[in-house]
Every structure is written in structure tokens, then in C-alpha cells.
Chain A
Amino acid sequence: MNSETWKKVKSVFNEASELPEGERSSFLAQFEDEIRLEVEKMLGAVKEESFLLNEPIVDLKEFVETPMPKQIGNYKIIRQIGRGGMGTVYEAFRETETFKQHVALKVIRHGIDNEIILKRFRAEQQILASLEHPNIGRFLDGGKTIEGLPFYAMEFIEGLPIDEFCQQKRLTNEEKIKLFREVCAAVSYAHTNLIVHRDLKPSNIIVTANGTPKLLDFGIAKVLDVNSTEAGTATQLGMMTPQYASPEQIRGEKVNTLSDVYSLGIIFYEILTGIKPYEIEGKNYAEILEIITQTRPAKPSENQRSKIKDQRSNPDLDNIVLKSLQKLPERRYQSVEQFSEDLRRHLVGLPITARPDTFGYRFSKFVERNKIGVAAGVLVFLSLLTGIGLASWQAYRAEKQRLLAEKRFAEVRTIANNVVFKYHDEIAKLNGSTAVREMLVKDATTYLDNLAADSANDADLEQELGLAYLKLADVQGKIYAANVGNTDGALESYDKSINLLEKAVEAKPNEKSPKEDLIKAIDAKVSLMARSDFKSADKFVLLDKSSKILEDLIKNEPENPKLMAQLATLYIRYGDSVGSLNDKGSLLKKLEYHQKAIPVAEKLLQISPNDPGNLKILAQTNQRIGTDYFWLGQNAELNKLFEEAKPFFQQALPYHQKMLELIDQAILIKPNDPSLKRNRIAVISSYAETISRNGNEKEALELVNKALSLAKEIQENDPSNQEAKFEVATIYELRAKIYSIFNEDEKAIENYQKAAEITEAVYKADNGNLESLTAFKASLENLRKINEKLGRKTESELYERKSKELSDLLKNKRP
């Protein structure tokens, strides 16, 4: 447009503006299109935009010409802490003879009708000052400066706005919810006192250094709003912060407590995601009005702009937030309290009200709370979910929808982790679950493996995966625990686990948990190596590694029970690993290590006497020491030193007695724990053997029969549990030995044969289990001896041949 046209447009516009709206179009009709259209556009724009370009963006005079006052009312000004659209905030104090009051003093900017505001302050002062709540910044008083500007004073609060606080402290969702519920409590309190905030926003919620949220400016919005009348409190457009304003507020309608519910919803959304639900930056009033009153916000967990990484899909929280953000007030929570209550219910896993109460939803909550009972159902459900999750991960990757893919990634990861850690552990408590556990953990580990391959150098993921491999290894072949009998697979998985956990330790040098996990994995592997690889020096390399880490950890926390338990276990493992059973010197060394564990295990039990885990550790320690003495006796016998053997057998007895007592005590506390049941069998067996060596055949046989029936019961209930089979064999072997000691040879032969049958089968199914092979060979050897003694030549030669074959095989396997 040239200057001439513009001049004409201007004067027509000025004239038209003077006219009542109804007469404008007929007035404009007389002008040519170029002029008329331009003026119409200008008039329309003014009508549409009530606040854009209305107030200066900068008020230079405030910066330049208002020197900081020394005193306002009764308050001495210390410094200016801020300046906003509303006015200037000072840190100030009031001193009387008895106390010094520290305040934040806000001077309202001129341009607002001062007289009305002052009147309001006087009217509201008492109500505002009566709001007394630990989470509400106290209103102290209002007045006017010598220039006639209104001001008010409130409790001085130092801290961060809630959004910044959550970001800086990197609060978890749970912590955020807890913090936010404190805010809700304060708003709810004000509501019961009939005070609506009307301008809730993060900058009005300050969290102090000790984590207490404080709400500022309660009731102030109403006072400052010149348009509000006593009857209703419609908000003037200029007074509010559009991002936090409810649809009714933005339309200039009446405001009530439900508007605060809405604003709290927006704040909660922002806290959860790090972003605001609506993008209204740079939009004009009409657009903002449309967005806030018409568009549905994205679910917090699905908002692609979200700044909080690793946001897991959380339907409960999504529904709670969306309910608080309903456009129609009557569809929101009907009070802040209800809002807060739903958040509480979500925290403790109860069904929330903010969603349709469908069967599926109630069922999923039930599952969450009763994991064991529905384990089987959950299994099917999860395997489905996991499969779907992985498929979508790949699909999305192919489409390069990075954000969605990341979300799927997090979901799959969550599910896989739940399977490995939550559900597996619950299912492991069930009898007869070994085969199912293996499938479960194997699948989950595969998913995690895929995820790890797709995301290099994620220390958290490495740790999770390391733990998953540890679980997998355990179920594949953990020694003396329910497993499916895959020793080689287990050793490989332990190696992977140790490898990954070492990386995690390196990446997170200041974190305890990866270190503890690594020690656990090493312990499990070293234990299993006893079965496959009796003399490997690697065991000590690994144990020394654990020892070093543990030493460091214990230095900082000498009384930490978890670390103490690991230390006791480490001593046990050193004792188990050192030397052989055929040599007195190394047996004494074992004894020395095992005895080191005693004071640690005893102290541990003192700290919490009824902890089954602690009872078990002390029982294990006693078992080891008793067995060391037992072997010392056995060793003396082999060397024909019968007199030396006896006291050793006697010394073994009290230790084995003690271990049985401790395990029985643990079982009283946890009667259904399968691992304790298995421990008890092993313990009874050791005790039976010791007793037999002390000359009591009857008691020894009673004990061994009991152990056998318990072991058979476990084995029959969990047919895929190879460890249980092996245990049954061990007890047959033991019973055979006892019969043989008391010269009941036929019975001994029968039992040796049964033992050999089983160990042969176990070995054939699990070629890595050399312990089983060794046991098989030992049974054959015993059969040879006993047949020889009875003069049965054919039989003894047969067993000798077989036994020789096995010796060669063993030599091949373990050069």
C-alpha cells in the first residue's frame, strides 16, 4: 500500500470506529474495494484481538526511573527480587520490638484501577490472612505506597517453582505425585475456606529446599481483577495466564473451585512431561480460545513433545490427567480432593475412578495385587504382550518413527524386566515351575538381548540384561537349586551376565547395585564351576574380584546386612574352592576359610534373628565346617588312621546338629519356600552321614529315609527339575553307604544301583554336569568294591570295566 492509500484507509477507519457496529457496513459500502476491504480487515482484527499489542512489552521508565524504594509501608526493602507483568517484587522485612518479619512484598503496577484494588484488599484482607496452612504462603497485609500504588506483603519463601524443582531434582513419577498431592491438599484447604486461587501456575508454587511446596498469591487474582463482582468472579482476560486458564476462564465466564482443578491438571501434566499440553505460543486470542475450549490434549505418556525421556506408558496417570482437563467443569473431578485421592489410589495400585470401570481394568488391577495367584494367566498374557511389543518395535524402526519406537522400546523393556524380575520370582515360589521359568526367562532375555543390540552403551540396560542372564543361568543350572539341567548353558549365561555387569560397574562406578549384582553372579558361577571344572584357577580370579569390590563396599557400610551376607557367602565359596577333599592340608585350609564365615553369619543373625536368609547362611556355614571335619575323618580312615578319624567325626556332629536346627527354624518362618525345603534335605543327609560315622545306624537310616521321601516328593512334583533327580540319587548313594558301613550288603547294592541309574540319566541329559558323571562313576566303583568283597567276580569285573570307561571319559572332559 502506498502512503496516499494508507492515508485514506486511516481516515475511513477512524470514522468507522466512531460509529456503532451496526452502522459500519453501510458506511463502508460507499468506498471502493481497496479501501473498504482493508478497513474491514482492520476492524475485524481489533474485534478479535482483545489483548495483543495492548500493553507495552517493555516499560523503560520502570527500569530507568523507579529507583528501588527504601521503605514501603512498614517494610524496609532489602532488594528487588523480580519484576513481572503484574508489578515488582521486593524482599523486605518489618521490624518490631519483639520480632523481625521477613516478607516478599509485591507492588502492583500502575495502570490497573488502584482504588478498586485497595478497596478489595481491605475487604479480603481478613479472609486471606486467615488462610493458615503449612503449604500456603501466608498473606500478611495489603496497603498502598506513597505513590498510591497498591502493594501486599506475604511470607518470604525461597525455593524453585515446582516445574523447575521436578526437573532439577529429576523426580520420579512417584515422587512427583507425592509432591503434587501436597499441593492439592493446600488448594483443597483453601477451597473449604471458600477461597479460589484462580491463577495457579508453576511460578505460584514454590518448593523450598527441604522439598515442601508452598502456594503463593492465594486469592490475589480475585482482588486484582477489576472486572470481578461480588456475585460472580469472572476473570478479566488480561489477568490470567492463558496456558493455565480453564475454558470457562478464557471465555470470561464465572470461575469456581473446578477452575482450580483444571489449572492443577495442567500443572500436573507439565510436571509429568516437562511440557505444556497446548501449544499456544505466538497464537492470537481467537486461536487460543479455540485451542483451549475445543482441542483435546494428547495423553501425557503419548505426547511426542514430552521432554521426560523413558516415559513409560501409564494409562492410570493419563486418565487421571485427562479427567482433570475436561472442558466441561462437571466432567472434571468435582473437588481437588477427589483428584488427589485418585492419585493416591494409583500409587498403591488400587483401581482409580478416572476411567470406565471395565472388567479388564479391574482384572488388571487384581493381577497387580495378586501376582502369585494369577501367575499362570499372567504368563500367557505377558508372552502375548511381549511378542506384540517386539514386533511393533521392529516395524516402527523400519519406518524410522524414532519417537514412537523409543516408546515401544521402553515398553518392551519394561515388560521384559517385569517378566524376568517380578513374575519370574513370584512363579519361582510355586512348586513344579522349573520348566515354565526357563521358557519365561529365556524369552525375556532374548528380547532384552535384542534391545541391547539396538542400543549400545546404555549402562542401565546392560545391568538389567546382566541380571536377566543371571536369572537365566540360575534356571538353566544353578547348583543345588531347581534347574533344568543345562550346566554348559548356565556357565555361558553366567559369563555373559558377569561380562555385562562388569561393564555396568565400570559405567556407573559410584553406584552400589551393579557391584552387588556382579558379586552375586560371580558367586553363582564359582559355585557351579565346582560341578563342572573342579580345579580351575579362574575361580580364584573371580573370587578375588568379588572380594575386592566387597571390601570397598563394606568399608563404607560395615553394618549393611546385605553386604555382610555376601561376605559370609564369599568366605564359604573360598573354602569350597580351595584344595581337594583327599588331602588333609587342603581340608584344614577349607576349614580355616569356612570358620571365617561364622562370626559374620552370627552377627548377621543378631541384627535380624528371624530372617530366613540369615538363618540359612549360618546353617550353610555350620554345614560346611561339619562336612570339613567329616572329610578329615574320612581321609584319616582311608589312610587307615582309625584313631585319628574318630574325633573328627565327633567334631562334625554338633555343627551338623546346629545346621539342622537353623534350617528347621527358617522353615517355620517360611514353610513354603522350595529352596529351603531342598536345603533341609541336603542338611538331613549330611547329618545322617555324620551320625552313621558316629555309630548310630538306626538314627542314620531314619534320617536318610526321611530325606529320601522329601526329595522324591519334590522330584515328582517338578519332573523337569534335574537337580531334584540328582538329589534323589545322592540320597540313594548315601543310604547305600550307610548300609554298607553296617554290613547290610544286599541292601547297599540295591541302593547303589538305583543311584547309578539316576546319575547316568542325569549326565546323559546334561553332558556338562560332570558332578553327575563323577557320582555315576563313584556308584559303579562302590558296586565293584562290594561285589568284590562278596566274591562275585563277574559282577565286579563288569563294574570295573564300566568304571574304567567313565574314568577315561572324565579325563577327556577335564584334562
Chain B
Amino acid sequence: MNNQTTKITQLLSKAGEGSKTALDELLPLVYDELKRIANKQLSSERPNHTLQATALVNEAYLLLVNQHSVDFRNRLHFFSIASEVMRRILVNYAIAKKAQKRGSGETVISLDEVISFPNRQDIDLIKLDESLKELAEMDSDQAKIVELKFFGGLTNEEIAEFMQISISTVKREWASARAWLLGRMKDES
């Protein structure tokens, strides 16, 4: 384990205890780590199979999480943080990619190389992120549900347990949040 990962470990447990600044500090580190791994893989001598790029995220998470997940008393609490980290990573990637398209020169691995979207369908993550911020102002719980579901892959049951609400509430809140977000994203496109 290098210094970087040690630092990440510490920040992760602080964030787990609810430190907002730890999360802010964590993000660029995770981001860099992910990029490092990605570059390493992409330049590796033998590209092996069709889906190799999607394994990047896996590796990053194994690195971050596997040895540290024990530090988290509450598994769902970890997912809550991880979803937020993931959201920021992905949005940053999207921004960097857009900048690259405009020719800023910085080489970034394109988003779909890092993460295989379900059905390879692209979403404008920057717009989604902005809309989600708006939603958080209207209803922060609802925004959290979206984050947990979309950026973390948590099930309705898990979200219900984590947020201490009923499953049917999760479903209902998700449905209206999604509808609003879809409408909002359409607005600006």
C-alpha cells in the first residue's frame, strides 16, 4: 500500500464519522488514484478482453474498500458516502471530458472507458448533477434517494433501511424525483 492509499484510508474513516471536509479531501485523491490505475491498465502490455476497461472501477474500489470496509460500523453508511464519492468522480470525469473535447489538452480517459454504462447509454452527468443540486434544495431526502439509487445501486429495501422510511415511500419519492429530473434535463438540452 502506498502513501496515497494510507491517506485515503484515514480520510475514509473520518468521512465515515460524518466529516464533510474529509469527504472533500478524499475526492481528488480517489480521482487521482482511479486515473493512475486506469492509465496503468490502458498502457499495459497486453489488452486482454473486450470489457477490460470496466474492471478499472472494480479495482479502484477493491483498493479503497476491501481492506477498509471493516472500519465502517454501518455498511449502509459506507454506501452512502461511496455513492457521493462516485457521483463526484463521474461528474468530474464528465467535465474533464467535455473540456478535453474543447481542446484543453489534458488527457483524460473517457467516461465510458472507465465505467460501462448500462446499455452503454450516455447520460449528461453534468446536467444531472446540477438538477440534483436543485432537487436537494427542494427536498434533500429525495436527492439522497436518487444518489443512493443511481450512483450507488442500492435497492429500495436498502434505501428504506438506511433512511428509516418505508419501502413504498422510497418508491414513491423515487418516481417523482426521476420524473422531475427527466423533465428538468430535457429543459436545458
Q: Interface on A for B, CB 8 Å cutoff?
A: 1-3, 6-7, 9-10, 13-14, 17, 38, 41-46, 48-49, 51-64, 80-85, 89, 91, 104, 158, 160-161, 164, 203-204, 206, 216, 238-243, 280-284
Query: What chain B residues lie within 8 Å of A242 (beta carbons)?
Result: 119-121
A53, B150: Cβ atoms closer than 8 Å:
yes
- Among B123, B154, B182, the residue within 8 A (CB) of A57 is B123
Known: A85-B117, A241-B120. 11 other contacts (CB 8 A): A7-B139, A13-B176, A14-B172, A45-B179, A45-B182, A57-B115, A57-B123, A82-B55, A85-B116, A161-B50, A284-B185
Query: What chain A residues lie within 8 Å of B100 (beta carbons)?
Result: none
The 9 closest A-B pairs by CB, nearest first: A82-B51, A59-B153, A45-B182, A42-B179, A56-B153, A63-B61, A45-B183, A85-B118, A55-B118
B182, A216: Cβ atoms closer than 8 Å:
no
**Considering the chains assembled together, what is the distance between the CA atoms of A40 and B180 in angstroms?**
10
Does B92 belong to the interface (CB within 8 Å)?
A: no
**Considering the chains assembled together, what is the distance between the CA atoms of A81 and B50 in angstroms?**
8
A-B contact pairs, 18 of them (CB 8 A): A3-B137, A6-B138, A38-B180, A45-B179, A46-B179, A52-B121, A57-B115, A58-B90, A58-B151, A59-B153, A60-B83, A63-B58, A81-B51, A83-B55, A104-B49, A158-B49, A238-B119, A280-B122
**Considering the chains assembled together, what is the distance between the CA atoms of A6 and B134 in angstroms?**
11
**Considering the chains assembled together, what is the distance between the CA atoms of A251 and B9 in angstroms?**
48
Does B52 belong to the interface (CB within 8 Å)?
A: yes
- Among A56, A63, A82, the residue within 8 A (CB) of B49 is A82
Q: Mark B62-100, 1 if CB is under 8 A from A, else 0.
A: 100110010000000001001100100010000000000
B66, A64: Cβ atoms closer than 8 Å:
yes
Query: What chain A residues lie within 8 Å of B13 (beta carbons)?
Result: none
A46, B178: Cβ atoms closer than 8 Å:
yes
Distance from B142 Cβ to chain A, minimum over Cβ atoms (Å): 8
B118, A57: Cβ atoms closer than 8 Å:
yes
Query: What chain B residues lie within 8 Å of A284 (beta carbons)?
Result: 182, 185-186, 189
B151, A56: Cβ atoms closer than 8 Å:
yes
Instruction: Give chain A's interface secondary structure class.
Output: mixed
Query: What chain A residues lie within 8 Å of B57 (beta carbons)?
Result: 58, 63
B137-176 residues at the A interface, CB under 8 angstroms: 137-139, 149-154, 172-173, 175-176
Nearest B residue to A56, CB-CB = B153
Count residues on chain B whose CB falls below 8 Å from chain A CBs. 54
For A63, A161, A216, A240, the residue with the greatest tally of chain B CB atoms inside 10 Å of its CB is A63
Distance from A290 Cβ to chain B, minimum over Cβ atoms (Å): 13
Does B181 belong to the interface (CB within 8 Å)?
A: yes
For A41, A239, A243, the residue with the greatest tally of chain B CB atoms inside 10 Å of its CB is A41
Query: What chain A residues lie within 8 Å of B50 (beta carbons)?
Result: 82, 89, 161, 203-204, 206, 216
**Considering the chains assembled together, what is the distance between the CA atoms of A52 and B179 in angstroms?**
10
Query: What chain B residues lie within 8 Å of A17 (beta carbons)?
Result: 175
**Considering the chains assembled together, what is the distance between the CA atoms of A281 and B126 in angstroms?**
13
**Considering the chains assembled together, what is the distance between the CA atoms of A80 and B41 in angstroms?**
14
Does B28 belong to the interface (CB within 8 Å)?
A: no
A62, B153: Cβ atoms closer than 8 Å:
yes
**Considering the chains assembled together, what is the distance between the CA atoms of A163 and B23 in angstroms?**
39
**Considering the chains assembled together, what is the distance between the CA atoms of A7 and B173 in angstroms?**
11
B58, A80: Cβ atoms closer than 8 Å:
yes
B176, A14: Cβ atoms closer than 8 Å:
yes
A81, B55: Cβ atoms closer than 8 Å:
yes
